[in-house]
Structure 1
Amino acid sequence: MSYKRLFLYYVIFLSLIFSSLRAIEPVCKWYGIAPFCFIGNSCPENCWQAAASDRGDGAYCWFSQKNYCCCVKKAIDSIINSLVNSN
């Protein structure tokens, strides 16, 4: 295989990845709605709590706290779906 063809495949692969980054779900994110952070602060199924905070990613919690949850399977599924469904 020539280097030009290999380079072309590499560029196509990278363009597919970067064009679909908008649709990719982050691996970890904060759950909880300030100021009542007990609303929606549970980690989704098959995810784990990596941290907890009164502030998290923004506004301060008056009640309870926000949870920083990591969902590796959900992020991988999002990447695969964005690649399969890309136009």
Structure 2
Amino acid sequence: MSYKRLFLYYVIFLSLIFSSVRAIEPVCKWYGIAPFCFIGNSCPENCWQAAASDRGDGAYCWFSQKNYCCCVKKAIDSIINSLVNSN
């Protein structure tokens, strides 16, 4: 396979990914709603807690903590769905 063809495939792949970047679910994100961070701070099913903080992604928690949860399968599913639905 020539380098030009490989480069073209690479550009097409990246354009598909970045054309629907907003639809892609991040691998890890903070869960919890300040100031009452016990609201919605549990990790979704099949995800794991990587960290906990009373500040997390910004606003300070008065009660409980925010959890930083990683969901690899959820992110991969989101990427696949965005690629399938972009056509």
For normalisation by structure 1, the TM-score amounts to 0.91
Q: Report the CA distance shift for 1:54/1:12 in structure 2 as closer, same or farther (over 3 A).
A: same
What are the Cα deviations for residues 53-83 of structure 1, in whole angstroms up to 9, with x where unaligned?
A: 0000011000001000000000000000000
Q: How many residues matched?
A: 87
Q: Deviation at 1:14?
A: 1.5
Structure 1, unpaired ranges of 5+: none
Could you say what the CA RMSD is over the residues aligned between the two structures, in angstroms? 1.3
For residues 30 and 5 of structure 2, the distance between their equivalents in structure 1, rounded to whole angstroms, comes to 43
What are the Cα deviations for residues 7-27 of structure 1, in whole angstroms up to 9, with x where unaligned?
A: 322221221111122211000
Question: Which segment is superposed worse, 6-15 or 33-42?
Answer: 6-15
For normalisation by structure 2, the TM-score amounts to 0.91
SS at match of 2:29: strand
Percent of pairs with identical residues: 99
What are the Cα deviations for residues 32-54 of structure 1, in whole angstroms up to 9, with x where unaligned?
A: 00000000000000000000000
